[in-house]
């Protein structure tokens, strides 16, 4: 028996058959129930866990149709339009669902009808019934008002005027009903009867393409899964070719025998349709997830879906010579690393128009970085030859500048004579600078105090190592003495 | 020729070799075809014995075999056709197997330069030398890119090293080494094991110009086996893998070459009016050869020219700044060989044993030769 707190009292939320046999009812106070039967076992309700269970069941129901929606706290809508023939007709599909749930230990009721409203009513009030199209009215007429999915207060007021069945409401004139009980009643009625369309919003986006394979014998080994992936990808390739597309995002769904579903997704940095490459990507992903996937008694259904596809760019052949193939090689290499180690495992620097050193280069994940459109420059055409000031930039930059201690400078605005960085003392042999870099005032919020300017120095220590230091702020500009930071290392 | 169809002759020849016979004379007397066969067999012997790379005379097509191939001038361009390199598990390396740094002393000591299709270790004594270590590796990459197609370069590091030594800065790399940002790929691995995996996968790719793997310290995982795997992949792909080890000790490694890098004080900037006092000029490195199969340990000071993208060797003391570095570095603790044990070569070593004047293979059979530790 499960209790929950309602109106400041512990009441029975749900109960099993044995408790029902003791004449306990839902909504009864726990104290009363305990007084009647001291030996009952009461468990606190956990709506979160119920929700998770329902969602995992919804995932599992994905094997019947991609359009699965949650219905309140205890129901699932499956839009099986066009799917029933895959399971040998409506009756055998319904039987299959019911028997599989039964063996998983669930007490399930199901109804199949042409409208969601009628199916809802059929599942709850006429179990295991298949309602042919057009017979919704006959189904609903004898059922109580609760079968219409209406608010409890509307139901109570309908009952108070003597309308106790759905049939009675249907027979009543519409205009007074709408005026007295609101539009929602007629809306629900029309939806149940199929006069109005009701959209079931699926829990997960429907994949544009997916292929699956039912297995007579559950598979457990990673190798077998990979082999299946390649087989499915081969089938998928035909569909992708017909659409002129390549997959950008793929998901592998593994349906375990006992109802759990593992969902493994990989992304590609350019459209992909080659089965072998798809298999390679999933190989890396499966290797990374080896600990997390619980095989249990094995998987009896494997599905490969294309979550998003993009036009397969045939123009790649136009690019000059070997660059084309190398680009593809590197994209696949990056995808494989990404599949195993996450999106930010391969980074690409992108130059940004900014004079702040840390903003001048953005390192983006490989898939997000813009692909080079122009052919690579010839070595002899580097446009570096233009004369003028070219500031020296370090080859390594600390992600966050590290504070250093500067005990003394020769001149107030000059470079330090020595400094302490990471607990080691460095003697400055030579210094160049300062190069003043002001903050980007156009990026600061209005009214915010200006960030202090930085004076950068190139420093060579007594051992010949070259560093990039800066002093934040000016001497005498404010009460706070300026601080020194280590920002980069030169070659 | 495969080991199968030539096994009989091969083993005979192997025995021959072991008995230290004067087989060179036999070679000279035979025809060109026979000579070619013998060379193929010698390669097989080297393969079976697992010998280290060594110099053999050229097969047919080259000049008649001279029993004493001694370059008269070792500092001159080592003629590729005069040499055939045999390396383990691989057939003859192409003539451009070596990356010439352009610094004659270093190239001579390494007998032609750094191997292109191999793992090369570049060590820095402390994390604060990361600038010099990375700078030297990148200048080698820059030399590779200057010669070959402009393929991307992958730089793999653990999160630790990028935090401790700084993340590579694409603007600076472009300014100093001429490597475009589009050519750079970085990979930051959370753990060393992941970094090694990425490196192994990357090392077998021919679509990358070079792979840089940066590791801090001396981790257990990076042992002889791991370096051997990297080396084998680099050999097969024909691409260099640079293993940068910051603050690491010299450990057994499969890499044929280990260089120990430290920063050298730079020369002053050159202006029209002469050197600018107190200025910091071009990047300079002190390179010590920690391990090489052909060279004795030595130390060189190299200066990188960021405009020409080439190395210049700094000779003598005339251009060295006032605060010079000690010529012989202080010995460090560690189980590897001390870097300072060999001769200091700051000028072309004419006729030195390191310069290619090696004893004939028959005098130094592989199993008798003392292997250099490390």
B264 to chain A, minimum CA–CA distance in Å?
5
The model's pLDDT over B102-141, given as tens digits with 9 standing for 90+, comes to 888 888 888 788 888 999 999 999 999 999 999 999 999 9
Question: In terms of domains, do B136 and B281 share one?
Answer: yes
Q: Are B48 and B72 within one domain?
A: yes
Residues of A in contact with B136 (CB under 8 A): 491
Question: So what's the pLDDT on residue A27?
Answer: 81
Question: Is the whole-model pTM more than 0.90?
Answer: no
**φ, ψ of residue B96 in degrees (nearest 5):** -90, 40
In this predicted model, what pLDDT tens digit does every residue of A154-168 receive, in sequence order?
888 888 888 888 888
pLDDT band at B368 (very low <50, low <70, confident <90, very high): low
The b-or-e profile of A276-305 (16+ CB within 10 A means b, else e) is ebbbbbbbbbbeeeeeebebeebbbbbbbb
Domains of chain B: total: 2
Closest residue in chain B to residue A465, using alpha carbons only: B263
**Around Cβ A5, how many Cβ atoms within 10 Å?**
12
CB contact under 8 A, B134 and A395: yes
Q: Are residues B67 and B145 in the same domain?
A: no
Residue A313 is predicted with a pLDDT of 67
- Same structural domain, B107 and B41: no
- Smallest Cβ–Cβ distance between A393 and the set B145, B172, B198 belongs to B172
Q: How far apart are alpha carbons B264 and A279 in whole angstroms?
A: 50
- Is residue B295 packed enough to be buried (19+ CB in 10 Å), middle (13-18) or exposed (0-12)? buried
Angle at CA A128, nearest 5°, toward A125 and A130? 100
Q: What is the pLDDT of residues B65-91, one digit of tens each?
A: 333 333 444 333 344 444 444 444 333
The answer as to whether B182 is a domain residue is yes
Name which of A259-273, A396-410, B62-76 the model is least confident about.
B62-76
Q: Is B118 on the interface with A (CB under 8 A)?
A: no
* Closest residue in B to A369 (Cα–Cα): B182
Q: Is residue B249 domain-shared with residue B337, that is, in the same domain?
A: yes
B16 and B115 inside one domain: no
Question: Measured between alpha carbons, how far is residue B361 from residues B17, B21, B353, B365 in Å?
Answer: 9, 11, 15, 6
Q: Could you report the per-residue pLDDT of A315-364, keeping only the tens digit for each?
A: 555 555 544 555 778 888 999 998 889 888 899 999 888 889 998 999 99
Å from A7 to nearest chain B CA? 51
Q: List the single residue in B with minimal CA-CA distance to A385.
A: B307
CA torsion A235-A238-A239-A241 (nearest 10°) is 150
Q: Across chain A, what does the average pLDDT equal? A: 85
pLDDT at B47: 66
How far apart are the two ends of chain A, measured CA to CA in Å? Answer: 72
pLDDT tier at B373 (50, 70, 90 boundaries)? low
- Kindly state whether residues B138 and B167 are assigned to the same domain: yes
**B122, B161, B167, B314: best to mutate for the A interface, most A CBs within 10 A:** B167
* Lowest-confidence pick of A411-420, B343-352, B365-374: B343-352
Chain A touched by B149 (CB under 8 Å):
yes
User: What does the pLDDT look like over A123-132, one tens digit per residue?
Assistant: 888 877 888 8
Bigger pLDDT: A52 vs A25: A52
Q: What is the ipTM of this complex?
A: 0.73
Which residue segments constitute the domains of chain A, with CATH numbers given?
A: 2-45 (3.40.1170), 50-193 (no CATH), 209-337 (3.30.1490.100), 396-489 (no CATH)
- Per-residue pLDDT at A383: 47
Pairwise CB contact (< 8 Å): A491 & B178: no
Residue B184 touches chain A, beta carbons under 8 Å:
yes
Please report whether residue B355 resides in a domain: no
**Which pLDDT score, from 0 to 100, does residue A320 have?**
55
Is residue B36, in this structure, part of any structural domain at all?
yes
Q: Could you tell me what percentage of chain B is helix, strand and coil, using 3-state DSSP and rounding each to the nearest 5?
A: 30, 20, 50
Question: Which of B52, B73, B93 is the endpoint of a domain?
Answer: B93
Position B94 scores a pLDDT of: 54
Do B86 and B123 reside in the same domain of the chain? Answer: no
- Judge whether B358 lies within some domain: no
B310 is a domain residue: yes
Do the domain assignments include residue B71? yes
> Under an 8 A CB cutoff, do A346 and B187 touch?
yes
Work out the minimum CA distance from B373 to partner chain A, whole angstroms: 29
CB of B305 within 8 Å of a chain A CB? The answer is no
* B167 contact residues in A (CB cutoff 8 A): 363, 396-399
Looking at residue A389, its pLDDT comes to 62
Q: What is the pLDDT of residues A281-317, one digit of tens each?
A: 999 999 888 888 888 888 989 999 999 888 886 655 5
Of B169, B181, B286, nearest to A350 by CB-CB distance is B181
Residues B300 and B193 in one domain: yes
Task: Give the pLDDT score at A382.
Answer: 44
Tell me which of A45-49, A71-75, A448-452 is least confident.
A448-452
Contact residues, chain B, for A394 at CB < 8 Å: 131, 166, 169, 172
pLDDT over 90, % of chain A: 21
Is the domain of B102 the same as that of B63?
no
Which residues does residue B83 pair with via DSSP β-bridges, in sequence order? none
Would the CB atoms of A325 and B207 count as touching at under 8 Å? yes
Tally helices (H) and strands (E) across chain B: 9, 16
Q: Which residues of A fall within a CB distance of 8 Å from B189?
A: 341, 345
State the best of B131, B306, B330 to mutate against chain A, taking most chain A CBs within 10 Å: B131
pLDDT of residue A372: 53
Q: DSSP label at A367?
A: T
B160 and B193 inside one domain: yes
Q: Is the pLDDT of residue A7 over 70?
A: no
Q: What's residue B70's pLDDT?
A: 39
Q: Is residue B357 part of a domain?
A: no
Contact yes or no for B132 and A491 at CB 8 A? yes
The token pair that represents B253 in the structure block: 């490694």
> Is the backbone peptide bond immediately before B57 cis, with ω within 30 degrees of 0?
no
pLDDT value for A371: 64
CB contact under 8 A, A347 and B134: no
Quick one: pLDDT at residue B62? 37
- Contact residues, B window 27-86, toward A, CB-based 8 Å cutoff: none
Q: Which domain holds residue B288?
A: 98-349
For residue B2, is it within any domain? no
Residue B363 banded pLDDT, cuts 50, 70, 90: low
> Domain end: B46, B62, B93, which one?
B93
Say if residue B196 is in the same domain as residue B106.
yes
pLDDT at site B367: 55
pLDDT at B264 over 90: yes
CATH number, domain containing residue B103: 3.40.50.300
């Amino acid at each position: 028996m499960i209790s929950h707190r309602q109106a400041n009292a512990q009441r029975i939320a749900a109960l099993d058959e044995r408790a029902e046999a003791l004449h306990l009812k839902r909504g009864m106070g726990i104290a009363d129930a305990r007084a009647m039967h001291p030996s009952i076992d009461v468990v606190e309700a956990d709506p979160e866990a119920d929700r998770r269970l329902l969602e995992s069941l919804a995932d599992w129901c994905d094997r019947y149709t991609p359009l699965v929606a949650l219905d309140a706290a205890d129901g699932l809508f499956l839009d099986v339009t066009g799917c029933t023939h895959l399971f040998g007709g409506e009756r055998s599909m319904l039987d299959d669902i019911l028997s599989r749930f039964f063996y998983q230990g669930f007490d399930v009721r199901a109804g199949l009808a042409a409208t969601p409203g009628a199916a809802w009513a059929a599942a709850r009030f006429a179990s295991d019934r298949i309602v042919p199209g057009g017979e919704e009215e006959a189904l609903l007429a004898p059922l109580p008002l609760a079968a219409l999915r209406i608010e409890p207060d509307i139901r109570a007021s309908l009952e108070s005027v003597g309308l106790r069945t759905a049939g009675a409401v249907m027979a009543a004139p519409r205009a007074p009903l709408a005026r007295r009980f609101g539009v929602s009643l007629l809306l629900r009625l029309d939806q149940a009867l199929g006069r109005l369309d009701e959209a079931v919003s699926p829990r997960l986006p429907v994949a544009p393409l997916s292929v699956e394979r039912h297995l007579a014998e559950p598979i457990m080994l990673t190798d077998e899964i990979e082999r299946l992936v390649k087989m499915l990808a081969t089938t998928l390739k035909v569909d992708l070719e017909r659409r002129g597309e390549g997959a950008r995002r793929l998901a592998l769904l593994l349906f375990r025998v006992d109802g759990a579903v593992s969902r493994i997704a990989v992304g590609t940095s350019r459209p992909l349709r080659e089965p072998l490459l798809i298999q390679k990507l999933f190989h890396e992903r499966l290797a990374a997830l080896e600990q997390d996937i619980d095989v249990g008694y094995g998987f009896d259904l494997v599905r490969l879906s294309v979550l998003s596809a993009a036009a397969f760019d045939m123009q790649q052949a136009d690019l000059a010579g070997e660059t084309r193939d190398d680009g593809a090689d590197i994209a696949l290499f990056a995808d494989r690393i990404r599949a195993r180690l996450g999106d930010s495992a391969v980074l690409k620097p992108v130059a940004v128009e900014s004079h702040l050193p840390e903003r001048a280069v953005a390192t983006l994940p490989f898939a997000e970085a813009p692909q080079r459109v122009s052919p690579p420059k010839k070595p002899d055409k580097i446009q570096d030859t233009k004369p003028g000031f070219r500031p020296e930039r370090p080859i390594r930059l600390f992600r966050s500048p590290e504070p250093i201690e500067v005990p003394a400078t020769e001149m107030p605005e000059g470079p330090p004579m020595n400094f302490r960085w990471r607990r080691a003392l460095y003697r400055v042999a030579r210094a160049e600078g300062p190069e003043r870099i002001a903050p980007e005032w156009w990026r600061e919020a209005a009214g915010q105090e200006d960030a202090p300017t930085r004076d950068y120095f190139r420093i060579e220590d007594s051992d010949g190592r070259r560093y990039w230091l800066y002093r934040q702020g000016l001497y005498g500009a404010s009460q706070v003495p300026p601080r020194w930071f280590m920002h980069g290392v030169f070659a | 020729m495969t080991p199968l169809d030539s096994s009989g002759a091969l083993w005979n020849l192997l025995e021959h070799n072991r008995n230290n016979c004067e087989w060179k004379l036999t070679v000279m007397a035979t025809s060109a075809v026979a000579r070619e066969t013998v060379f193929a067999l010698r390669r097989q012997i080297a393969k079976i014995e697992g010998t280290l790379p060594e110099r053999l005379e050229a097969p047919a097509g080259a000049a008649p075999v001279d029993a004493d191939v001694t370059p008269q001038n070792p500092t001159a361009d080592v003629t590729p056709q005069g040499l055939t390199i045999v390396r383990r598990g691989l057939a003859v390396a192409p003539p451009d197997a070596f990356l010439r740094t352009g610094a004659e002393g270093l190239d001579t000591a390494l007998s032609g330069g750094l191997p292109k299709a191999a793992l090369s270790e570049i060590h820095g004594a402390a994390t604060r030398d990361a600038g010099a270590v990375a700078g030297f590796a990148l200048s080698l990459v820059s030399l590779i890119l200057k010669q070959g197609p402009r393929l991307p370069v992958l730089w793999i590091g653990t999160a630790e090293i990028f935090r401790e030594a700084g993340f590579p800065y694409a603007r600076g790399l472009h300014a100093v080494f001429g490597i475009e940002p589009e050519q750079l790929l970085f990979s930051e691995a959370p753990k060393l094991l992941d970094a090694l995996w990425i490196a192994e996968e990357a090392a077998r790719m021919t679509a990358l110009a070079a792979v840089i793997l940066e590791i801090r310290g001396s981790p257990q995982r990076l042992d002889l086996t791991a370096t051997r795997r990297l080396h084998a992949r680099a050999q097969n792909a024909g691409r260099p893998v640079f293993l940068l080890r910051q603050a690491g000790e010299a450990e057994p490694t499969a890499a044929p070459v280990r260089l120990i890098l430290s920063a050298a004080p730079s020369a002053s900037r050159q202006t029209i009016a002469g050197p600018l006092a107190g200025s910091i000029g071009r990047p300079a490195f002190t390179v010590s050869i920690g391990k090489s199969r052909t060279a004795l340990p030595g130390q060189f000071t190299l200066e990188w020219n960021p405009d020409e993208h080439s190395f210049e060797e700094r000779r003598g003391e005339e251009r060295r700044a006032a605060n010079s570095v000690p010529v012989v570095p202080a010995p460090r603790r560690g189980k590897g060989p001390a870097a300072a044990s060999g001769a200091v070569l700051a000028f072309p070593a004419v006729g030195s044993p390191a310069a290619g004047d090696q004893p004939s293979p028959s005098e130094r059979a592989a199993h008798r030769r003392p292997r250099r530790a490390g």
